[in-house]
Structures are given as structure tokens and as C-alpha cells.
Amino acid sequence: MTERIVVDPVTRIEGHLRIEADIENGVIKNALSSGTGVRGLEQIVTGRDPRDVWAFVQRVCGVCTTTHALASVRSVEDALDIKIPRNAQLIREIMNEAQFVHDHVVHFYHLHALDWVDVVSALSADPEETSKIAQSISDWAKSSPGYFREVQQKVQKVVDSGQLGIFANGYWGHEAYKLPPEVNLLAVAHYLEALEWQKEIVKIHTILGGKNPHPHYVVGGMATPIDINRDNSVNASQLTQISEIIDRAMEFVNKVYIPDLLAIGSYYKDWLHGGGIQNYMSFGDFSTGDVRDTKLYRMPRGIILNGNLNEVLDIDLRDPEQIKEFIDYSWYTYDGNSGGGKHPWEGETTLKYSGPNIPYKNLDEEEKYTWVKAPRWRENPMEVGPLARIMVGYAKGQPEIVNIVDDTLNKLNVPLSALQSALGRTVARGLETALIVQWLRNDMDALLNNIKNGDQVTFDRTMWDPDNWPKEAKGVGWMEAPRGALAHWVGIENGKTSKYQMVVPTTWLASPKDNKGQSGPYEAALKDTPVIDPDQPIEILRIIHSFDPCLACAVHLTDLKNKKTTEIKLS
Amino acid sequence: MRPEKTIYESAIERGVSRRDFLKVCTALAATLGLDYSQSGKVVQAMETNKRIPVIWLQLMDCTGCSESFIRSSHPRTENVLFDMISLEYHELLSAAAGHQIEENRERIMEQYKGEYILVVEGNVTDDEFLTVAGHSALESLKETAKHAKAVLAYGSCSAFGGLAAAKPNPTNAKAVSDVVRGVPIINVPGCPPIAEVMTGVIAHVITFGRLPELDRQGRPKAFYKLRIHDKCNRRAYFDAGLFVESFDDEGAKVGYCLYKVGCAGPTTYNACAEMRWNGGVSYPIQSGNPCIGCSEKNFWDEGPFFTRRAKIPGTQTTINPEKVGLYATGATAAGIAGHAALTAMKKKKDEKANSEKNSSQEG
């Protein structure tokens, strides 16, 4: 007997995602992933000053706030062939690395942990035992029995008040929760600590970009001036403040996040569902020099197909045959047709809702069912994100990645294939955080050194004035965002934005079926997963959260070349 | 059902000392712009009021407002979530998903009719452009707003339509106030708003049991009555007529005014210059970046952002404080350099400058 279950809204993610799953004999036979909202941002930026576009598209997402702004300024600088000053390169790297660390820590504790951690169970923990466990896995200072007792009392009072707030109506007590109460208490304590800590690391953005969320950028470098002796520039005192924040971030990642991840992971290493497709793609990033020089990437670029780590293929984002977006199951049309694929350069966004009458009970996977398009690389669905980066980096032999992966697999006593699962994805996210927080330290040291050597330049004004631009230009800005490979394609004509297209991580991940009927990564990862209780499908949340969805990003793809009229048809 | 604890009780039970509790109240009073003698009112309100149930609907948003909210340093996020409010429906933070979280919404609407606060983040859109739980988000908004004590429209999207409503507005994006009637609405614009402004508005409602005083655009006067220009740390350079001509030039390093590279501070009502961001660390202008005016209605269509603004401030200077508010915005761009030069002269010859204020008018 087949039963269809619906999870809508999927919470603890960015944006609006709906999952429908057919369960047969306790196992997911088939799943459907639908993005249920759209804004059409690419239409909005067309015709505007290319130097302003970063601010618009930055608002694609306020969680990965910074990544779309960076991809945008990179695309315009690619189109106009602008080389930004060394200090600006380093400041942008530092801001991006700070974003990754913030994003991954918040994802782990606040968006994902409650799939593995039972808050209510923490109430029956022995704080003495929790303290012993904490001290056995880390030398983080806040680990006394008294501290954990206090946290436990806080949770107890929230529960006793009858107003559970954000913890209301969770799947507490579900048999899929495997942690002992003491480890649950440890995780809850760190949930609260991380909530406090995340406010600190973003101050790097505030100093260098004025605020967070949504710090400021500028095409050609950074507007933030450096002068170590002046109070209105980034000066010695602010640089010291950033340095200290970075040191505290390293400490938090290495003494709290990573030990918690491995401790929790060790209880679930038998739950290896959620692997899905084994095609991995990374555009690569974290250059030690120019962002377009792929040889200088600390996070390597490449493609792995069908889990074959012996061969890493190359990617060309400018090649019209490689990346295409399909709309056979998405609420769009191309040139008036309801199907087909287009390279982002020729992209089009004509919204056309053809779903069921609202309100509806179910979507139909044989018809169009989402606002998310289906991007494909040479007609293959691709997983992007931490796991993809780690797999590509491992296959390419990047020493830091090989070392940390081998070391972790040893500690957990699992094979490499264990990474190809929901939990593996979550572990991969933690491992890259450990690397990136170190790169953050290195880049800050490089910045300090560069300034010490007398370079205080942050902005290149040679191409600022549109009078100096070619009449027509086009560029692509790519990067690795926390959720995966991201690229923006821009066209510039007579000083205005003539085209703008974004193909973003969650579009790859949450994509529906394509022209060949191939499922995207979410749908594929859910398939064949056993579900204990269809009324409390914690397994679906675990798998979907392991990808860290960002739906606001996913549904803003591609724009129209010639500003076609938006066509809306209600069924 | 157990009776709800007061904020004070729940804080004390959660291990907060009386001393720390008072400190929180004093910080709150400062956030609210109250003088020290008023902090007693905050203490009293916190001691006697229950945690207010909050339903937080995310419409077409970027989650940037939620992210800003959790950056609050006074009151701290944890205190807000566990001592001041009971956040029962929030797509970003709620443990519950699917029908379980929808049950939370229905339960609060039923159990706390007329008492809960509805927070809205993101713009309203036509039915087909956003469904949640298979329902039109627009209909769910109307339904949830109906019996709310008040609606807090966090961010420029929910307050004014925001980004999605920028031309050509492909999805018919609108503000909350365009579709919700009969319930008090507090607009808290900004992209996103400052964390302490967001939590400060909630604190006001809890403390005084009524809405803060609002201006004509529905914004709390406590945070939006002054332009960024009025409290700007670069203001002296504006008055002296000293401007950054290009990013990272010598003037930028000294801290000259950013007006000529596009700063919208003179026409933007927000508390950035006073409260600053992320615990008071900085704000865009301080970091060398021109303000893009993100708390103003339709600011997305007021670009380009990095060329001198068409509208310039009037003659508000520190020399004529009594005139503040009489002159808002609206003179021509060409007037700015002249105005600034005049301002400099004004310091020596106040009366002459007053007679030449003709370049400004109510905007």
C-alpha cells in the first residue's frame, strides 16, 4: 500500500520548500521537491547600473548574505576585466570565509542539530556525566557540572511554562533519536552558546562592510579605506579586533563544533541513508591570488561522475553545451514552449503557474510542480556543496583535504563511502569549516603583512567611470558559496545591465526532474529511505537539512534576454 | 494548562540573577530611548507580564530580517526567545515542520485570540507566487492577522513592498498594509532593520502594553524620527564642504562626507548612525560605504546608488537646531556644494547663511 505524505513547510531552512513522498512498506519509493515561492529578481536588475546589481542580488538570500554580492561583483569585474587590489582581494576572502564559518556553525546547531538531538531528553540527563563527556572530547572551558545543570534548569523552566516557543511540537521522543540524555544536554548547551557566538563573528562584516546581514561591496575593490593611523579608516585597533574575533572563531570551531559533530556522528554512523546521486561538482574557490586563477584555488575545481574518484573532469562555465537549465517540470516557459534547456547566456524567465488550484492537497509529479528550474551539467544532475567539494578535493589530492578526511574516517572507523550519506554531508560541512577557519586566519595574517609592507590601497578606480567601458561586454562570476557552486552571468550594454542570470546551489540540489526524467539530488537522496512514523517523518528532515536548503536562492534563476512580458495564467 | 510565568519569573527560574535582570531592563530602557528614571517602568512590566506568543510569517523574503533579529545584543537573543516572547511559529528556527508547525499557528490563534503578536517578514504576493502548506500565503496572512494584537512588519519588504516590488514588479509584490486592515500595523523598515530596533519594538509593546508612537508611515518614532545625516559621524565634513570624490581617496581615509559618491544618509530615516550595527560596532557610512537608503520606501528604484543623489538635504545644521524638521529634502543636486560651503561660512556669519537658505524646500 502506498501512502503519500507531505512536509510543507519544511522548516529550519531558508525559504519555502515542500516535500511530498510516497511511502510503500515503510520505505520512500518516490519523492517530489517543490519550491513554492518566486520573486523574479533577474527581471528587476535588468536595465540597471551594473555597479548596483550586487546590492539587489545580495538580497536573494539573507542567510548566505554576502555570497550573491560577491558573485555579482566578480561577474562585472570579469566583464570589464578589472583587477582589484591585493588588499581588496584579501578583505573579500576574509569576509567570505567568515560567512562560511558563521553559516556552517549556525546550520549545524540551529537548523540541523534538532534532527539528531532530542531537547526534551536532555531534561533527564545527569549533568555530572555530561561534564565528564564534555571534558573527554574537548578542553573547551565551559564544561563544569554546574554549568550543564544551569542549562538543564533553563530548559526545564521553558518546558514547565507550557510555552515551548521554538521547541513547540517537535518530534521529541521519536525512536530515531539515539543520543543518551547526557549528550543531548551537551548539544543543547552548545545550541545556546552558538546562538550567542554567531553574533561575534559577523562583526568582521560590520567592520569591513558596515553591517550584517547584507554588508556593502563595490565593483573594483572595497570602499572600506585602510589607514592604520586614522580613526575613520580601518585602523590598527579594528584590525586587532578582527584578529581576535578570528582567534575566537577558530577556538569555537575546533573545541566545540568539531568535537560535537564527531560525538553526535558516532552515535548515528549506522544511519547511512540520503546519499543520492553520486555526481559531484565544485567550481572551486578560495584563491590565494586572483579569483579567476583556478591554479591558486585552495578548494579545487572539478566534476566527478557516478562516484568515480579516479577521474576529475573540468568545467567551462562559458561553454554553451555544459550548463543548461531545463523547465520541463517547472512553472516557466521558454519561447512560449513548456520544455527544453538553455545555457544561462540565453536564459529566459517567463513565469507561468500551471499547478493545481490553491489551496491544494497534493502536487502531481507527472505535471509541472515547482518554481525551481532543473540545471544540468552535460545533462547530468549534480550535487554541489560541502560533500561535493570534499569529494573533488579528495580525488584531486589536495593535501589538507586528504589529511582531514582520512583522519576523520579513521576516528569514526568508517570507509570513504560513508561520506555519501546525509550524515556524511554533515560531517563534510564540519571538515571544510575546520579548513576554512584556518584559511581565514592565514588570509588575515596576509592582510596584516601586506599593510605592514606599506600597501593600504583597497580600490581600483580605472574602470569605475562607465565612459571607460566597452559598448558591450559580458562576464561570469563564480564562487563556492556555503551551499555549493554558484555563478552569475552578466551582460552589459551601453553602461546598463542587459542580461543577468544566476544559477545557484539550491537550484542544482532542489531541482525537479529534467527533460530525461532524471531526479535532482534531494529527490534522489530521499528515495529508498525507511520512514519509521509517516506522521513524524524525521528521516526526511535529516536528509533535506543535510543539504542546507536555501530556497530563496533557488527560485530566482535566469532572466529574459529581451524583457518579455511576464505571463501569468491561473489554472 | 499551567498558567504562564511572568517574564521576571521565567528569567529568575532560568538562573538569571535579579541584578542581571535589572541590567537587561536598563539596557531595554536605553534602547527604547527612555531616560534613566523610566527604567523602573520597564522593570515593573517585565516582572508582571507574560511571555507574549509570537507567530512569525515569512512571506517572499530572504530571511535577512530573521538573521538580523538573532543578532540582538541588548536584549540578548536568548533572553528575547526564552524570557520575553514565546516564538511558536518561525520557519527558520522552529523545531516543528509540516502539519505540526501549522498546528502551532492554529493553536496560538485560538488560545491567545487578540493577544498574540504577528510578525511578518517579506512581501505579500499574488496567490500562485507563494504557497505554504498548500495554502495561499496571502490568505494565511489575512487569517493570522485578524485576531492579532498587532502586526509587526519587519523589513522594507513587508513594510513597503521592498525588493520584489522594484520595477517591473514581476509578481505584484505589496506591503502588508496593502492587504491587512483593522489591526494595528507597526512598520519597521530596513534591509534588514537593525537587530536592536527589531527587539526594541517588541520590548516596547511588552513594557507598556501598547504600541509605540508611530509616524505617518507607521514607523516607531523612537527609531525613525531622525535622518542618518542628523547623527552621522561624518557630518562635520559635510558641513565643512569636504567630500570623498572617489572611493579610497585621501578624503575617504580621513573620513570626509560620502554624499558625492551617492550617500543617501541625508534622505534616509533610520537609527544606523546612532545605534550602529551588530552591537554598535560600525555602520555602512562609518566603514566608508555610502548609505543606499534601505529603510526608505521605493529606495530600490531611487538609484543608481553611487552617483550623487538628485535630492539633497535642506539647511539642517547644528547651527540652527530649532529649524530641524522644517526643511526636509528636495533641492537640486547642484545646490549641495553651495550649501555645504554656505554651512561653513555660517559658522562665522550665521545670519547671512540664513538668508540664503533658498536652495532648500520641503521635499
Higher pLDDT, A559 or A92: A92
Integer Cα distance of A221 and A477 in angstroms: 15
What's the rounded mean pLDDT across residues A119-142?
97
Of B82, B104, B253, the CB nearest to A154: B82
- If you ran DSSP here, which 8-state letter would residue A466 be given? G
Measured between beta carbons, the chain A residues lying within 8 angstroms of B283 are 206, 210-211
Instruction: Identify whether residues B90 and B211 lie together within a single domain.
Output: yes
Domain range annotation of chain A = 2-82+275-420+462-554
Residue % of chain B over a pLDDT of 70: 77
List residues bridging with A370 in a β-sheet. Answer: A330
| Chain A residues 316-355 with CB within 8 Å of chain B | 351, 353, 355
Of A11, A221, A233, the CB nearest to B94: A11
Q: Is the pLDDT assigned to residue B243 strictly greater than 70?
A: yes
Of A119, A144, A206, A535, which to mutate for an interface test with B (greatest number of B Cβ within 10 Å)? A206
Annotated binding site of B for [3Fe-4S] cluster: 272, 291, 294
Of A86, A92, A111, A166, which to mutate for an interface test with B (greatest number of B Cβ within 10 Å)? A166
Instruction: Identify whether residues B209 and B275 lie together within a single domain.
Output: no
What's the pLDDT at A241?
97
Which run of H or E residues covers position A441?
helix A422-452
When mean pLDDT is compared over A544-558, B169-183, B306-320, the highest value belongs to B169-183
Q: Scanning every residue of chain A, which has its alpha carbon at the shortest distance from the alpha carbon of B257?
A: A232
Instruction: Identify whether residues B168 and B67 lie together within a single domain.
Output: yes
Measured between beta carbons, the chain B residues lying within 8 angstroms of A233 are 252-253, 255, 288
CA distances from A158 to A64, A180, B6, B51, B83 (A): 30, 21, 12, 11, 9
Tell me which residue range forms the domain holding B140.
7-220
Instruction: Identify whether residues B170 and B95 lie together within a single domain.
Output: yes
List residues bridging with A490 in a β-sheet. Answer: A475, A500
Instruction: Identify whether residues B51 and B163 lie together within a single domain.
Output: yes
What's the pLDDT at B46?
63
What's the pLDDT at A397?
98
Instruction: Identify whether residues B253 and B189 lie together within a single domain.
Output: no
Instruction: Identify whether residues B193 and B288 lie together within a single domain.
Output: no
What's the rounded mean pLDDT across residues B147-173?
96
| Chain B residues 176-215 with CB within 8 Å of chain A | 191-192
Quote the cell numbers at residue A547: 543539504
Please state the φ and ψ torsions of residue A286, each to the nearest 5 degrees: 60, 55
Q: What's the CATH code of the domain at B308?
A: 4.10.480.10
Residue A242 near residue A200, CB atoms below 8 Å: no
Q: Is the pLDDT assigned to residue A58 strictly greater than 90?
A: yes
**The dihedral sign for the CA sequence A202, B295, A165, B32:** positive
Binned at pLDDT 50, 70 and 90, residue B50 comes out as confident
Per DSSP, helices labelled H in A161-180 are none
What's the pLDDT at B11?
73
Measured between beta carbons, the chain B residues lying within 8 angstroms of A360 are 131, 134
Q: Specify the amino acid at residue B146.
A: K
Instruction: Identify whether residues B340 and B288 lie together within a single domain.
Output: no
Residue A544 near residue A19, CB atoms below 8 Å: yes
| Chain A residues 158-197 with CB within 8 Å of chain B | 158, 160-171, 192, 195-196
Measured between beta carbons, the chain A residues lying within 8 angstroms of B90 are 11, 166
Question: Tens of pLDDT along A141-192?
Answer: 999 999 999 999 999 999 998 899 999 999 999 999 999 999 999 999 999 9
What's the pLDDT at B284?
98
SS3 A567: coil
Q: What's the CATH code of the domain at B174?
A: 3.40.50.700
Residue B14 and residue A157: Cβ atoms within 8 Å?
A: yes
Annotated binding site of A for Mg(2+): 42, 502, 556
What's the rounded mean pLDDT across residues A402-421?
96
Question: Tens of pLDDT along A32-41?
Answer: 999 999 988 8
The full length of chain A comes to 571
Instruction: Identify whether residues B35 and B84 lie together within a single domain.
Output: yes
CB of A446 within 8 Å of a chain B CB? The answer is no
Residue B71 near residue B63, CB atoms below 8 Å: no
Integer Cα distance of A286 and A291 in angstroms: 8
ipTM for this model? 0.95
SS3 A337: strand
Q: Scanning every residue of chain B, which has its alpha carbon at the shortest distance from the alpha carbon of A6?
A: B98
Residue A210 and residue B282: Cβ atoms within 8 Å?
A: yes
The full DSSP string for A189-216 is: HHHHHHHHHHHHHTHHHHHHHS-SSS--
Q: How many CB atoms lie within 10 A of CB A48?
A: 21
- If you ran DSSP here, which 8-state letter would residue A370 be given? B
In total, the C-beta contacts within 8 angstroms joining chain A to chain B are: 342
Q: By mean pLDDT, which of A60-69, A199-208, A537-546, B10-19 is the weakest?
A: B10-19
Q: Scanning every residue of chain B, which has its alpha carbon at the shortest distance from the alpha carbon of A162?
A: B2
Of A6, A56, A456, the CB nearest to B300: A56
Quote the cell numbers at residue A187: 548539544
Please state the φ and ψ torsions of residue B211, each to the nearest 5 degrees: -75, 150
Instruction: Identify whether residues B205 and B172 lie together within a single domain.
Output: yes
Per DSSP, helices labelled H in A202-326 are 203-209, 236-252, 258-267
Q: By mean pLDDT, which of A65-69, B11-15, B105-109, B223-227 is the weakest?
A: B11-15
Integer Cα distance of A124 and A113 in angstroms: 19
Q: Specify the amino acid at residue A357.
A: N
Annotated binding site of B: 62, 65, 157, 191, 229, 232, 257, 263, 272, 291, 294
Q: Is the pLDDT assigned to residue B115 strictly greater than 70?
A: yes
Q: Specify the amino acid at residue B46.
A: M
Listed residues B220, B246, B265: the one ending a domain: B220
Question: What CATH architecture applies to the domain A2-82+275-420+462-554?
Answer: Orthogonal Bundle (1.10)
Question: Tens of pLDDT along A225-247?
Answer: 999 999 889 999 999 999 999 99
What's the pLDDT at A306?
97
- Tell how strand B131-132 and strand B135-136 pair up: antiparallel
What's the pLDDT at A564?
40
Of A4, A7, A16, which to mutate for an interface test with B (greatest number of B Cβ within 10 Å)? A16
Instruction: Identify whether residues B76 and B137 lie together within a single domain.
Output: yes
Distance from CA of B354 to the nearest CA of A (A): 31
Residue B127 and residue A358: Cβ atoms within 8 Å?
A: yes
Residue A233 and residue B255: Cβ atoms within 8 Å?
A: yes
What's the pLDDT at B34?
62
Q: Is the pLDDT assigned to residue A488 strictly greater than 80?
A: yes
Q: How many CB atoms lie within 10 A of CB A241?
A: 15
Q: Is the pLDDT assigned to residue B82 strictly greater than 70?
A: yes
Residue A425 near residue A385, CB atoms below 8 Å: yes
Distance from CA of B4 to the nearest CA of A (A): 6
Which run of H or E residues covers position B28?
helix B18-31
Which run of H or E residues covers position A88?
helix A86-106
Residue B1 lies in a domain: no
Any idea what the Cα angle at residue A248 is, between residues A245 and A253, rounded to 5°? Answer: 125
CA distances from B119 to B154, B188, B214 (A): 7, 10, 17
User: For chain B, what is the domain count?
Assistant: 3
What's the pLDDT at A561?
40
Instruction: Identify whether residues B37 and B51 lie together within a single domain.
Output: yes
Distance from CA of B319 to the nearest CA of A (A): 24
Q: Specify the amino acid at residue B111.
A: Q
| 0.80 exceeded by pTM | yes
Q: Is the pLDDT assigned to residue A571 strictly greater than 50?
A: no
**The dihedral sign for the CA sequence B9, B10, B13, B14:** negative
Question: Tens of pLDDT along B182-222?
Answer: 999 999 999 999 999 999 999 898 888 889 999 999 999 99
Q: Is the pLDDT assigned to residue B149 strictly greater than 50?
A: yes
List residues bridging with B214 in a β-sheet. Answer: B220
What's the pLDDT at B33?
61
Measured between beta carbons, the chain B residues lying within 8 angstroms of A48 are 303-304
What's the pLDDT at B330?
37
- Helix/strand/coil (H, E, C) string of A93-138? HHHHHHHHHHHHHHHHHHHHHHHCCCCHHHHHCCHHHHHHHHHHHC
Looking at every residue in chain A, the average pLDDT score rounds to: 95
Any idea what the Cα angle at residue A420 is, between residues A419 and A421, rounded to 5°? Answer: 95
What's the rounded mean pLDDT across residues A491-520?
96
What's the rounded mean pLDDT across residues B69-84?
93
Residue B2 lies in a domain: no
